[in-house]
């Protein structure tokens, strides 16, 4: 008896074959604006139907692992990710999925509608990104925060170019460390404490329960400045370097070791988004710099 085997459906080109997306772009960008975006969109679509589809499958099949100790017993907390995850990381940078709205050329061409083109890039990139769309979104959030005028210019100059780099060799992403086990969506119960240090930087101590993109080079962490009151409005965002390479407190540690005071307890065993490393992270006097005035966070309604 002949067994029926479903023929493989030919993969659609997510840009050329998506009439709705193209008409949406035509409406929001105008024919000239859409024409200027076509090259970028077609290039990314070609990658998505080719190498990124394979990278997606590889990253989903090989979830990240946490190596807590080296063979000699030293704590190293290294997160190993698959080749597919690394390919997704490089493609996100190369195709400017985070960077586009921050690039002077793009702003010159599309103005504020550079966000529309970025949205279209994300629409093409996300479904076969093995959830690298998550670090991408958090890196964009961190970049937008760093652009606020009350962020120290030195901090902005040190980190923003890396977040919006289109060179995979230098581009980084960011985590966002908010959730704590006692709080969940009730951020007002956050207990991570920030203390100012003598040099103007801060030290954070607390436990973050659900940190995605745990392999990213930095994180925006919420903490309660020492002496601030209760509730969520006094919580302030701090930039925490994730690795020793970027921490002034690192004393001879390997560049890819966790920054002093940052401990990766374990990776989450999630029902979905398994290619994405999500971790429980402990902070113990970890180096941090405030993003804006910690006594007057941007959302405090001053």
Ligand X SMILES: Cc1cc2nc3c(=O)[nH]c(=O)nc-3n(C[C@H](O)[C@H](O)[C@H](O)COP(=O)(O)OP(=O)(O)OC[C@H]3O[C@@H](n4cnc5c(N)ncnc54)[C@H](O)[C@@H]3O)c2cc1C
- Residue numbers at the binding site for ligand X (CB under 6 A): 175-179, 184-186, 210-212, 270, 273, 278
Give CA–CA dist 21/262, Å, rounded.
43
Give CA–CA dist 29/27, Å, rounded.
6
- Nearest approach in angstroms of CB 131 to ligand X is 8
- Nearest approach in angstroms of CB 274 to ligand X is 9
Which residues make beta-bridge pairs with 212?
278
Torsion, CA 154, CA 158, CA 159, CA 162, rounded to 10: 150
Nearest residue relative to ligand X (C-beta): 184
Q: Closest CB to ligand X among 106 and 239?
A: 239
Q: Closest CB to ligand X among 81 and 212?
A: 212
Q: Closest CB to ligand X among 99 and 267?
A: 267
Which residues, in sequence order, are CB contacts of 270 under 8 Å at separation 6+? 278
- Nearest approach in angstroms of CB 185 to ligand X is 3
Q: Closest CB to ligand X among 129 and 179?
A: 179
- Nearest approach in angstroms of CB 157 to ligand X is 26
Q: Closest CB to ligand X among 58 and 180?
A: 180
- Nearest approach in angstroms of CB 58 to ligand X is 20
DSSP letters spanning 67-106: EEE-TTS-EEEEEE--HHHHHHHHHHHHTTTTTGGG-HHH
Per the structure block, which two tokens stand in for 178? 């908010």
């Amino acid at each position: 008896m002949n067994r029926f085997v479903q023929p493989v459906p030919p993969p659609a080109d997510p840009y050329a074959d998506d009439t709705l997306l193209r008409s949406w772009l035509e409406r929001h960008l105008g024919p000239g604006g859409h024409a200027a975006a076509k090259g970028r969109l077609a290039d990314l679509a070609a990658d998505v139907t080719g190498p990124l589809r394979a990278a997606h499958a590889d990253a989903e099949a090989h979830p990240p692992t946490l190596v807590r100790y080296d063979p000699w017993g030293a704590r190293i907390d290294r997160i190993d990710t698959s080749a597919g995850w690394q390919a997704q990381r490089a493609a996100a940078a190369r195709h400017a999925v985070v960077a586009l709205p921050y690039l002077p050329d793009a702003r010159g061409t599309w103005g504020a509608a550079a966000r529309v083109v970025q949205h279209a890039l994300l629409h093409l990139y996300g479904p076969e990104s093995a959830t690298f769309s998550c670090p991408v979104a958090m890196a964009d959030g961190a970049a937008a925060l760093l652009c606020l005028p009350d962020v120290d210019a030195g901090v902005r100059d040190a980190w923003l170019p890396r977040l919006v780099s289109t060179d995979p060799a230098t581009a980084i992403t960011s985590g966002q460390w908010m959730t704590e086990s006692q709080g969940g969506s009730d951020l007002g119960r956050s207990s991570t404490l920030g203390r100012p240090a003598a040099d103007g930087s801060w030290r954070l101590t607390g436990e973050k329960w659900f940190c995605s993109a745990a392999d990213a080079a930095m994180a925006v962490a919420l903490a309660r400045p020492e002496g601030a009151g209760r509730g969520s409005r006094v919580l302030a965002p701090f930039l925490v370097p994730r690795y020793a390479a970027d921490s002034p407190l690192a004393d001879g540690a390997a560049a890819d070791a966790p920054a002093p005071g940052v401990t990766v307890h374990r990776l989450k065993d999630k029902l979905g988004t398994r290619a994405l490393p999500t971790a429980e992270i402990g902070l113990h006097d970890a180096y941090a710099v405030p993003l804006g005035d910690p006594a007057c966070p941007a959302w405090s309604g001053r």
